[in-house]
Amino acid sequence: MVSHMFRVETETAKVDRPRRDLLRARLREANTAASPIIGALRGTADERELPLQIWVFSDEGGGEELVAGLDAHTWAHWLHVNLLWVDARHRATGLGSRLLLDAERTAREDRGCLHSRVWTWDFQAPDFYRKYGYDVVCEIPDYPPGITEYTLTKRLA
């Protein structure tokens, strides 16, 4: 029987970037070896995450003010909506719908995306996404305590 000695370190105050990058590289290697689908992505355009951002500005009052925005990326034929925000003064005007639909169109037509995913909390916009054809595929209660997080997906093509 072989006995191994290990040293375990816990970082809580800073990010050890070189070790994190090494960890990412090792996981990438393991995933590539374990999954023919992930392996087939390597070295293709579909392997890269490409940013997709849409901004809405108002020039009321003489200045340029951000009043809505969407931050997303595309990867492996998926649109990943990370953030979608509309200033409270401009909600229910169609800006959120326009942002989402423009992102879906760009992802589908320009990047060949077949699906979209988003996460939201119960007090934010699960009904908004359902209205646009998204289905809840994951529900995490008490994340954080007292709030439910939802992951929703939609077929784009």
The mean pLDDT of the chain is 94
Q: What is the pLDDT of residues 42-82, one digit of tens each?
A: 988 888 999 999 999 998 776 789 999 999 999 999 999 99
Instruction: Point out which residues pair with 127 in neighbouring strands.
Output: none
**pLDDT tens across 125-150, in order?**
999 999 999 999 999 999 999 999 99
CA–CA separation, 15 and 102 (whole Å): 36
For 78-115, the three-class secondary structure string (H helix, E strand, C coil) is EEEEEEEEECHHHCCCCHHHHHHHHHHHHHHHHHCCCE
* Model pLDDT, residue 19: 94
| H or E stretch at 62 | none
pLDDT at 109: 97
How far apart CA 148 and CA 128 sit, in angstroms, is: 16
